[in-house]
């Protein structure tokens, strides 16, 4: 497998070749609700966690995906690059980090994610409860948050730890599947295989 590039290299290359498109950092995140039905929505890629292959997403803790992830912590990302015609399906477990997390390291990561996001992005966490009926009389909240203020209660960091990746290139009709396993030292290893598209 030494000659095959990793899915992370393929993904970084896709991000680079599609970087002129604002929506190239958008992907669809599927979860399973408590009813057992699937849910699916567009979210924004917020980078990898450090040098790892874990994927970061910011979200509002008041959205339905949080209760869904608490019920079933698995998710599949479907990320289609409209310019290079590449699709990544990334399946893994999602860690939900909110302000009540007992781990100081995770709270620090959440704070870093907050400060890495734009003031405009931060503003949306101060808005009314997403998904609840809109009270049209309610004046739009246009207060600007203090740039030095840390994460508000609604701010939540999701970290998806991939264990299976399916890569499809529609230009050359190539498809690769990447599967992770733990070696004897508990270190994650990836194996790849060429499969039929």
Contacting residues toward a copy of itself, per CB under 8 A = 21, 23, 26, 28-32, 36-42, 72, 74-78, 80, 82, 87, 89, 91, 124, 127-134, 136, 175, 177, 193-197
- DSSP one-letter string for 7-36: HHHHHHHHHHHTTTSGGGGEEEEEEE-TTS
Least distance to a copy of itself, CB of residue 78, Å: 4
> Shortest approach of a copy of itself to residue 179 CB, angstroms?
12
Smallest distance, a copy of itself to C-beta of residue 137, A = 12
Residue 164, classed as helix, strand or coil, is strand
Looking only at the bridges linking them, the beta strands covering 155-169 and 55-60 are antiparallel
Q: For residues 22 and 102, which CB has a smaller minimum distance to a copy of itself in the complex? A: 22
C-beta closer to a copy of itself: residue 47 or 131 = 131
End-to-end CA distance of the chain: 19
**How far, in Å, CA of 112 to CA of 109, rounded?**
5
């Amino acid at each position: 497998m030494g000659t095959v590039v990793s899915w992370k290299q393929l993904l970084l290359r896709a991000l680079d070749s599609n970087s002129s498109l604002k929506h190239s950092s958008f992907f669809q995140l599927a979860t399973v609700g408590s009813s057992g039905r699937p849910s699916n929505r567009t979210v924004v890629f917020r980078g990898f966690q450090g040098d790892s292959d874990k994927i970061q997403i910011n979200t509002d803790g008041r959205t339905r995906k949080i209760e869904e992830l608490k019920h079933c912590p698995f998710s599949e990302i479907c990320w289609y690059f409209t310019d290079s015609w590449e699709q990544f399906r990334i399946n893994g477990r999602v860690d939900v980090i909110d302000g009540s997390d007992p781990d100081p390291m995770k709270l620090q990561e959440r704070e870093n994610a907050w400060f890495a996001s734009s003031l405009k992005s931060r503003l949306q966490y101060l808005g009314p409860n997403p998904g609840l009926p809109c009270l049209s009389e309610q004046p739009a909240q246009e207060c600007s948050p203090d740039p030095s203020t840390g994460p508000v209660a609604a701010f939540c960091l999701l970290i998806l730890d991939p264990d299976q990746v399916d890569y499809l290139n529609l230009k050359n009709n190539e498809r690769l599947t990447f599967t992770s396993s733990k070696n004897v030292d508990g270190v994650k290893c990836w194996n790849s295989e060429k499969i039929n598209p």
